[in-house]
Structure 1
């Protein structure tokens, strides 16, 4: 009679028993249960995205691989938090939630650095998913990702600070976020419009979804890490719902939005060098022939002063064939 009951107990969530809480204000088993559910969704969607990518040619999987990387990273973070790992106690500035004192001192609250590590990896990848569709130059993309990292890192530092100075970091993070938004809706939208209506719509709709969600994260930070107004379980639900919408839902939405777009217009197609060697060689030979023609050196048979261009047309000496040189350069890399 007691054996089935013991088995049921063992089958339950024992994360907080195995990994005890570290702060006075911390999650409960209910919060851990919710985090396990989010982990399951992240992991399942990431696996599904990788399977979906197998249906595409190898050179057209950039957005699927980005989404899979985002979801894999989030899965690790949520596994850690659901296991009650990846947190550190920090003394609260405000006692809006929880006890006013513990042993004569202000209580501590768990700050989940695992979440910020997740965001440090995933938010730049989310930006890449959008900005690669815009056609913006790499320099603009790099500086936008830099300010995104400033946004995340200042949030982490602010969460770890015990005094009111944390709100200075919070302000800097918000300023960085608004710069990212300016790039998305300023030069980014203008650039995407040049690629055609399909790209403009996909870019705009995906940007709207992501940026609207991102504006809610500072609110969650202010209520949780900042002012200690909501419970840690409430914090997990708030951030968890946002992460579900900003990662698996956004990833699927973005990939479906791009189905009608001409992938080759983005010049993102990748592949082995050997796949394009013949194309590169023919292109180089065409350039050499064009230069020779402009200089008035090419004969009617495609030779330059008796020297064959391309496939050795002419007397067969000193053939200008860039492919071997390209192969040698590639081999030394």
Structure 2
């Protein structure tokens, strides 16, 4: 019977310019790839001890959310018609309103922090740096969403705020994170540099895709679907593959991730404390407790 998603879901308010069956078929393909990769990551996670599956779990959730959001987009759901700022000719002729898929932005709001967390944890950045990147990333996605839903030229103000947020993320990945990975060295450095370049380059292309589609109304929604679909596959399939492949030879201890099996607390030997004065190395800082007179481990006589 073929793909009938657009016909079945045509009962909702439709834009003058939207995806066609070809665009829907492509997005369903992206959805299927992400679903299959999600199952593959779940299966591969069982090759690691239960307390060392953090990176698999972050990527698994990102793939699952991406699969769901692409299913919504392919089904022509999770969208709202918005009056375009620029009416073009050719394939985007007569575009009074254009489909804006807010489902995509919900996806990015959830998944990009997960992907960035997986990358930056590989470099053992400080928790404060990680938290800042996550919050700025979410602000970036919100800015892009507000821009997409704005009908006037003010959408480019939100786009500019989003790009500014991206620049902070790029700095954190390319400078702070890279410094931490280089300090650790070995496989960590190689894995971080390769996968980091893939992720940050992909994130750079998203605002360009926005400018060509929701923002500037330059390309048809089918072309938009292809553009975003390729970027999503790079971010959620290619990048995770490179990262997990590198993590085969990376121990959690080398990253400062002191995880242990459920029900078994981390036991430190006496004097087993470390501190780091370099932003980019060490998830948290442990300091050896001292008494009032400054003697380590000493107790006052009663």
TM-score (norm. length: structure 1): 0.78
When you count helix as a share of all residues, which structure comes out higher?
Answer: 1
- Equivalent of 2:218 in 205, 209, 229: 229
Mapping of 1:151-300 within 5 angstroms? 151-272=140-261, 274-276=263-265, 279=267
In structure 2, C-alpha distance between the alignment counterparts of 1:79 and 1:257, rounded to whole Å: 30
Q: In the alignment, what sits opposite 1:127?
A: 116
Give how far 1:50 is off. 0.4
* RMSD, matched Cα: 2.3
- Mark the structure with the bigger radius of gyration: 1
Once the two structures are overlaid, the 10-residue window that deviates more, 194-203 or 207-216, is 194-203
Give how far 1:294 is off. 5.3
Secondary structure at 2:82 match in 1: strand
Structure 1 unaligned segments of length 5 or more: list them: 1-8, 101-105, 298-304, 306-333
- Equivalent of 2:24 in 17, 21, 32: 32
| Paired residues, number | 278
Q: In the alignment, what sits opposite 1:108?
A: 97
TM-score (norm. length: structure 2): 0.86
Kindly tell me: are residues 62 and 293 of structure 1, through their superposed partners in 2, closer, same or farther at Cα, counting changes over 3 Å? Answer: closer
- Which consecutive aligned stretches of 4+ in structure 1 deviate over 4 angstroms post-superposition? 291-297
Give how far 1:167 is off. 0.5
Q: In the alignment, what sits opposite 1:301?
A: none
Once the two structures are overlaid, the 10-residue window that deviates more, 62-71 or 179-188, is 179-188
Give how far 1:230 is off. 0.4
Contact 1:60 / 1:269 at 8 angstroms: preserved in 2? Answer: no
In structure 1, C-alpha distance between the alignment counterparts of 2:237 and 2:177, rounded to whole Å: 23
* Per-residue CA distance 1:134-182 (angstroms, 9 max, x = gap): 1211111111111111211100000000000000111110111011101
Kindly tell me: are residues 169 and 293 of structure 1, through their superposed partners in 2, closer, same or farther at Cα, counting changes over 3 Å? Answer: closer
Give how far 1:197 is off. 2.5
Q: In the alignment, what sits opposite 1:149?
A: 138
Secondary structure at 2:247 match in 1: helix
| Residue 118 (1) aligns with residue 110 (2) | no
